[in-house]
Structure 1
Amino acid sequence: MHKGGVNFSLFSRHATQVSLLLFEDVQATKPFQVIELDSEHHKTGDMWHICVLGAGKNLVYAFRVDGPFAPEQGHRFDPSKILLDPYATALATPLQWNFAGFSSRSVSSAPKGPEHENPVVVKNLVTGNSFDWENDRPLHHPWSSLVIYETHVRGLTVHPSAGVRSRGSYLGVIEKIPYFRQLGITAIELMPLQEFNPNEITAVNPMSGERLRNYWGYNTMAFFAPFEGYGSRLYPGCQVDEFKTMVKALHKAGIEVLLDVVFNHTAEGDETGPTLNFRGLDNSIYYLLEEDKSRYKNFSGCGNTMNCNHPVVRNYILDCLRYWVVEMHVDGFRFDLASILGRDRNGHLVANAPLLEQIAEDPILRDVKLIAEAWDAGGAYLVGRFPGERWSEWNGQYRDDVRRYWRGDMGMAGVFASRLCGSADLYEHSGKATVNSINFVTCHDGFTLNDLVSYEYKHNLANGEDNRDGSNDNHSANYGVEGPTEDPAIVRIRLRQMKNFMATLFLSRGVPMILGGDEFCRTQLGNNNAYCQDNEISWYDWTFLEKNREIFEFVRNMIAFRARHPTLSSERFYRPEDVSWFNPSGHVPDWHSESAVGCRIYAEKDGGQDLCLLCNPLTYATSFVIPEPPHDSVWLKVIDTGAEPPFDICPPGQGLPFSGNSSTRIEERSMVVLLAERNPIRA
């Protein structure tokens, strides 16, 4: 957009005709003007373009594109379809707009065929660039200071108990900033908010009869546009301004903003899905196709796979990332199913994939945080091997190994020790650092922390797929009762296990990430794949914060404890002289047969304090021989997950000194942390 009008441009190599459609408003079903672009005057190379004088902000527009319909050649042009602009910075969606397509996590249950598409269509909106950022600048937090809080924009505040004015919105996130600061997080990772259709799922909840919705948003259709449904709809395009307002407010509070982005596939699904943009613009370029060209390769599990390493698609993704950094001021990205970004045009994984290298080396993106979900649905699992030193990874091995250790699985002590020390076995060989590991025990995809210790099996019947969806490998336990219980013994062990998981997370080298709501025992009632549950299964019930204040205070104090002891968040791996491991008898552990283990972590710098961690995942108490404290110091017990508050985690200077004993009893399924203190203040 410029003072005289608006420049429109569109890439299509194989189109024979492009039409620009201008609409009176979002509800209009027919354009008031159609501008035909001819190849002689409005095409340069593969770019179709026109400047419309007098056009400006809030203009509603779309495209029609004609060309060969030859699926056997990969072409699926259809001039009857109204198409979105891939570079649109905002969409204009009718309030009742819907198309029947595919859910992001379940393709099989969706109805097929174009007859299911609703003729009411979403359109593009011209936006301006007049937002006052008030000198907002990137925060550039060092990785070592990052504590990531993964959350869903709507789910965070849509429940009536959230106590906010702007429920389920970008502005609602702002109202929770005091809470974030109290908790102590330094970054928020927002689940997908690039435009998607929440109403694309036609299946219903067989238990309630209610129609299911695409709640998670992993089915993007407009990568430059923030989701309008998280805006107030007070005026056209307000979602853009309100997203920026949210980012600015979070930055003022010292909180970085990371976006979960989904470049591996789009909302168009497989060959029977809706035509929204890319399929109708140049299908053979934007997607990976099978040998017969009429079907799509499906490494995403969602019907199609973006042709990420085609130069045109590669440039598109780079342009999109730059836009979110430069214009929207985000601090980094988490890439969904990022292994797909390393596949070539035949779908093969390649070393030094062009897109991954370009993202890492791009001058504009040089300082943003890059996080890969280092696997895909095509069998690639690259945890510890994702290419490029700049890329950090969701460490799925950390999640699984820590879960299994505290569940009491045999033979897990060795890998547990590796995970707590930063997963050097996974990352050090490739020249990476501890902060390349994003450590997590739970995330949006799977059980919540409360459900991890309350359910042995997934309970996904509400998703309408006969409980077939979602992972069966949860490494969870219910400790005697499946689901909620008032049995005090079971409640006590569940709380202790949640503390064990959180203590391990914040004592581990690497970057900790918690799933939003875990800090106050949010539950999804055993549903480990709540992608379609836009209801109280997924929403944060803030009454749980007071009901479960004990776990909240524990998590908050664990975050503060980590910040006070920078040895725990160092970007380098421990050297042999930095840490020593021992069994309860004080000897070198037999990693294959023993489960209860301890370690002494030596302070890195003058003024630092040694730590001693004692971990007992067994179902009975055991006694540990305690190593001698440093000279002129005593050990203070500062964390004990088996103790009642306030002794589960003590305030600074109020730990419990040992009285000269050389051993201590560690209760079943609990962790104790000792801190070396020269002049302790007795509680």
Structure 2
Amino acid sequence: MTANERGHNFAIFSRHATAMWLLLFRPGESEPCAEFPLDPLTHRTGEIWHAEVTGAGADFDYAVRANGPARPDLGHRFDASRVLLDPYACDVREQPDRSFRARMGTPEFDWGDDRRPHHGWSETVIYEAHVRGLTWHESAGVAHPGRYLGLIEKIPHLQSLGITAVELLPVQAFPCAAPASPVDGHARANYWGYDPVCFMAPHPGYADVDPTIELKTLIRALHKAGIEVILDVVFNHTAEGGAAGPTLSLKGLDNATYYMIEPETGEYHDFTGCGNTVDCSRPVVHALIIAALRHWVVDYHVDGFRFDLATVLGRDSDGTLLPRPPLLEEIAEDPILGGVKLIAEAWDAGGAEEVGRFPGVRWAEWNSYFRDDVRRFWRGDPGMTGAFATRLCGSQDLFGDGGKTPVNSINLVTSHDGFTLADLVSYGHRHNEANGDANRDGPAQSHSDNNGVEGPSDDPEIVAMRDRQIRNFLLTLMVSRGVPMLLAGDECKRTQRGNSNAWCQDNDVSWFDWRLVADNAELVAFVRRLIAFRRAHPVLSAERFYTAEDITWLGADGGEPQWQGADNLIGCVIEPRCADGADRLAMFFNASEETRRFLLAGGPWYVVFDTSGAMPAGRRVASENIALPARCSLVLRITPWKE
């Protein structure tokens, strides 16, 4: 729908519909005030149904109904009784009957002197956060809890940490309710929001009054603070689910075009684990996705996108992975999208695993190998030293070909999808019973370690070891080449009580308890220093891979590193390539259960970080014999470092 000088012009694609109706609603009314049947002779051009309406105000709502063949075996699921949402709608509201309507107009917004921060990849530190979860807990103390505007009040915390980009879990409009539990039938919330009903409209549940104005206000405030906004977008499936799912938009407009359908049965291909898969190989779908991305960039000043299950966008209509997917190339080459960050989750539920092989150099990728190898190293799985060193250096085994660099790797230890960092060191297996799927959902293998007891503990030794492991993970993340991503709350030990798949937990399992920031002030300060240290030492984030001249590897007791040895331990000296060598670094990592010693020449050295707490920052280390306690990281500098 677009406004013109005479009124509003409506245009809806449907290849297989035989009839279409346009419905208008006055503000706040449940029944349409007008319903216009569209004559296919005068209101249809090719496969586009269209009409111009005059006299309706911008505050009116609209929807459509469509009729056509009801032949699920052929992929057609038309139902003239269903009220359907325009796929191009830019402002929507969910109704009590769980249908959606679109607003005819969106208010103007004054961007003022807004400027995108344009941080380079090597400068970027990402903070993954949930809009509602970040401020809904009573401890948040904000004026707009759980809303776009509420997040604005937490910008000082992000600035204090040194965050340069916020990656927001989905803000595309989605239903507030999820399907009931298949185990006991209890109602479930669609908390994460990975089930869009519309690709171009902001979720109204995060707004007090107007989601378009309030999301733009948030983005403008983040930009003013020097923080970029990356949206986690879902184009691979919708909230309409499978055959038993609701009919909200695409399913009722042209199911056989918008979704991957098995031609012999009409059943949905499911490469997403959510019941349907959007057929991203079709030009009509291409146009919709590109329009949505441009809309977020042009109208909302968004700085980047993280694409959920991005490999789906590279599948053909039958699900075959294409070698040069047209849609992915189009996104990467689109001139309007040329300055934004593109991040792929380079796998899907259909078995695709394309990390390091995702098409094109413009795409950064969530690095699941970094996540798993770093977790296994610190857990003490034998033989992980070589893999750990490779991840530390930017994953050249994955990104070393085709013009890619370390910043094609988004390094993460945790994300919304899995354990929080505090839970990663407190639970040996998932505890997802509350989700209503009999604890069968979520990652089956998390490479976690409870460090002596499952769940909470008041044993000082267990607590101390867990805290040390948290520091080890955070330090590893921030000194590795690539782009670090921090899960919201990991800086202050936020816990989900062992739930590794909290998609439906709209409660204190998922909400950010801000009391933890004060309770864990030392850890928050540690994260702040880590990010500042990374920023002060560009050698750690350079957009190139290390060479033999840059880094020297050290094994225990002066020997060679045991790359596949039973003990996970490694040291290195990093040369900054500057004239005076004033920021020459040495780093040591011991994931074994014993104190190990390293020989380090060229001192004296000064302590920057010691995750065991044995040596304070700034201490001069004169001895060549470095004693590294069990499960400990140590970072030294050839000259003292001050923030």
Shorter-chain TM band: over 0.9
How do 1:335-484 and structure 2 match up within 5 A?
335-484=307-456
Aligned AA for 2:546?
Y
**Hey, what's the Cα distance between the residues in 2 that align with 1:132 and 1:35?**
35
Alignment partners' CA distance in 2, 1:391 and 1:64 = 39
The aligned counterpart of 1:637 is 607
CA contact (8 A) 2:14 2:47 kept: yes
**1:152 is matched with which residue?**
130
Are the counterparts in 2 of residues 62 and 83 from structure 1 also a CA contact under 8 Å? Answer: yes
Query: Does the Cα contact within 8 Å between 1:212 and 1:532 map onto a contact in 2?
Result: yes
Deviation readout 1:250-302 (Å, 9 max, x if unpaired): 00000000000111111111112111111111111101011324200000011
What amino acid is aligned across from residue 668 of structure 1 in structure 2? A
Q: Deviation string for 1:529-576 (max 9, x for gaps)?
A: 000100000000111111111211111110011001010010111111
Provide the C-alpha distance between the structure 2 equivalents of 1:388 and 1:402, rounded to a whole number of angstroms: 26
* 1:42 maps to 2:16: no
Match of 1:87 in 2: 88
In the alignment, residue 638 of structure 1 is paired with which amino acid? V
Cα gap change, 1:157 to 1:591, in 2 (>3 Å): same
Specify the alignment match of 1:222 in structure 2.
Answer: 198
**1:354 Cα deviation from its structure 2 partner:** 0.3
The CA distance in 1 between the partners of 2:360 and 2:213, in whole Å, is 34
Q: Which moved more, 1:425-434 or 1:144-153?
A: 425-434
Distance 1:627 1:296 in 2: 63
**Which residue number in structure 1 is paired with residue 189 of structure 2?**
213
Q: Which amino acid aligns with 2:187?
A: R
Q: Which moved more, 1:354-363 or 1:135-144?
A: 135-144
- Are 1:599 and 2:599 counterparts? no
The within-5 A match list for 1:174-573 is 174-203=152-181, 211-233=187-209, 238-573=210-545
2:115 counterpart (112, 134, 137): 137
Distance in 2 (alpha carbons) for counterparts of 1:401 and 1:97: 47
Q: 1:626 aligns with which of 591, 600, 615?
A: 600
Could you tell me how far apart the structure 1 residues matched to 2:265 and 2:34 are?
35
Per the alignment, residue 628 of structure 2 pairs with 666
Q: Conserved in 1, the CA contact under 8 Å of 2:165 and 2:229?
A: yes
List gaps (5 residues or longer) in structure 1.
Answer: 99-120
Please give the per-residue CA displacement for 1:97-136, whole angstroms capped at 9, x wherever unaligned.
54xxxxxxxxxxxxxxxxxxxxxx3211122351000031
- Structure 1 residue 200: Cα displacement: 2.9
Post-superposition offset of 1:204: 8.9
The 1-side partners of 2:276 and 2:558 are apart by: 55
Distance 1:575 1:47 in 2: 57
Paired residue for 1:32?
33
- CA 1:282 to 1:602, structure 2 compared with 1: closer, same or farther past 3 Å? same
Q: CA deviation at 1:345?
A: 1.3
User: Which residue, out of 10, 17, 20, partners 1:15?
Assistant: 17
Q: Deviations over 1:221-273 (max 9, x none)?
A: 0111100000003xxxx110000000000000000000001111111111121
Which residue is 2:620 aligned to? 657
By how many angstroms is 1:205 displaced? 9.5
Cα shift at 1:67: 1.2
Preserved CA contact (<8 Å) 1:470 1:528? yes
Does the 8 Å CA contact 1:342/1:356 hold for their aligned counterparts? yes
CA displacement, residues 60-118 of structure 1 (integer Å, 9 cap, x when unaligned): 11000111122222211111110001011111223x454xxxxxxxxxxxxxxxxxxxx
Partners of 2:82 and 2:247 within 8 A in 1: yes
CA distance in 1, matches of 2:81, 2:97: 18
Cα shift readout 1:28-56 (whole Å, capped 9, x = no counterpart): 1x211011111222122211111111223
After superposition, the C-alpha distances for 1:281-337 in whole angstroms (9 at most, x for unaligned) are 111110101132420000001101000011110111000000000001110000000
Q: Work out whether residues 26 and 92 of structure 1, in 8 Å CA contact, stay in contact via their aligned partners in 2.
A: no
| Distance (Å, rounded) in 2 between the aligned partners of 1:527 and 1:60 | 40
1:676 match: 638
Question: Per-residue CA shift, 1:155-211, capped at 9, x if unaligned?
Answer: 0000000011100010011000111101110000000110111213323997xx973
Residue 8 of structure 1: SS of its match in structure 2?
Answer: strand
Distance in 2 (alpha carbons) for counterparts of 1:418 and 1:429: 15
Tell me the distance in 2 between the aligned counterparts of 1:348 and 1:140.
36
Partner of 2:588: 614
Q: Deviation digits for residues 502-528 of structure 1, max 9, x if unmatched?
A: 000000000000100010000000000
TM-score after normalising by structure 2: 0.97
Distance 1:183 1:26 in 2: 43
Give how far 1:682 is off: 11
Provide the rounded CA distance (Å) in 2 between the counterparts of 1:612 and 1:639: 11
Once residues 586 and 385 of structure 1 are traced to their aligned partners in structure 2, the CA distance between those partners, rounded to angstroms, is 38
Q: CA deviation at 1:26?
A: 4.0
Equivalent residues of 1:637, 1:657 under 8 A apart: yes
Whether the 8 Å CA contact 1:205–1:463 is kept in 2: the answer is no
Output the CA distance in 1 between the equivalents of 2:521 and 2:130: 22
In the TM superposition, residue 681 of structure 1 has moved relative to its aligned partner by 8.5
Instruction: Calculate the TM-score normalised by the size of structure 1.
Output: 0.91
Describe the SS at the equivalent of 1:224. coil
CA–CA distance in 2 between the matches of 1:484 and 1:627? 42
Deviation string 1:336-355 (CA, Å, 9 cap, x unpaired) is 00011110111100111000
Partner of 1:59: 60
- Mapped partners of 1:210, 1:539: distance in 2: 21
Change (3 A) 1:560 1:426: same
Q: Sequence identity of aligned pairs in percent? A: 52
Counterparts of 2:568 and 2:93 in 1: how far apart (Å)? 57
Structure 2 unaligned blocks of 5 or more: none
Aligned to 1:102: none
Q: Distance in 1 between matches of 2:105 and 2:152?
A: 23
CA RMSD of aligned residues (A): 1.6
- 2:199 counterpart SS class: strand
Answer whether contact 2:233 2:305 (CA < 8 A) is retained: yes
Using the alignment, how far apart are the partners of 1:409 and 1:642 within structure 2? Answer: 20
AA of the residue aligned to 1:79: A
User: Which one of the candidate residues 130, 152, 172 is aligned to 2:150?
Assistant: 172
Residues in 1 aligned to 2:431 and 2:621: alpha-carbon distance in whole angstroms: 46
**Separation in 2, partners of 1:212, 1:73:** 32
- Contact kept? 1:205, 1:462, Cα under 8 Å: no
Match of 1:73 in 2: 74
Q: Does the CA contact (< 8 Å) of 1:184 and 1:556 recur in 2? A: yes
Q: Deviations over 1:459-500 (max 9, x none)?
A: 011111111111121100111111111100000000000000
